[in-house]
A and B are shown apart, each in its own frame.
Chain A
Amino acid sequence: MTFQPGQPVRVKRDFPELRGPCHIRTPHYLRGLDGTIERPLGSFANPEDLAFARPAAKVPLYHVRFDQPSLFNEGAKGDTLLVEIFEHWLEAR
């Protein structure tokens, strides 16, 4: 496990959609944004491979917390968002 609860992370600003058929569980609206690790959720087979019936390695999954109003410059101060994100989509910051 690479990341610890409370650790600041950034979602990779990557768009595999540009490189051909793919299946990704990292929402577009979070790419490149800063969040904080809430807690680890265990490891799960990589959906990006499962979707194409390829052998899928298990990847650690985290609950990552984000500031909600800064996502779209809307919403109420202090509100938050919690999202499951796979480790290979996260980098330390």
Chain B
Amino acid sequence: MTPREAVAAVVDPELRVVTIDELGILRDVETDEHGHVTVTITPTYTGCPAMDVIRADIGAALRAAGHGDHEVRTIFAPAWTTDWISAGGRDKLAAAGVAPPGPSGGPVALSIGVRCTHCGSPDTEQLSRFGSTACKALWRCRACGEPFDAMKAY
């Protein structure tokens, strides 16, 4: 397994259905002529507590694939945006009950047409802009009455 394949398969510790590659957290994997691997990641939110776990999981994945000589760099620019979540990642989020984000547009993009992850109805309302993790908001479906998480466009 190449270093890139090993790291790309690491799952997000809080959204365990998607990988850090699909989320856009993984920015680069480089291997120099001595076999030293440099992984570059960027956090979703500045205070995201999952970053330490992600760094540890990347290290474990590389060691398991036989690439013990590695380092993990964290960069902040360009700033992460939900626009970097892949199409496949969006589908997986939706299937796991987290409504995927719309286009980020501005600093606080109004989420248009968030569909209920239970019944698919577009008749939904936001209960709170802040959810169980920094990247999610809490929504409710007016059709089936169930609450659900939606990833904030960011």
A, B from the same assembly: no
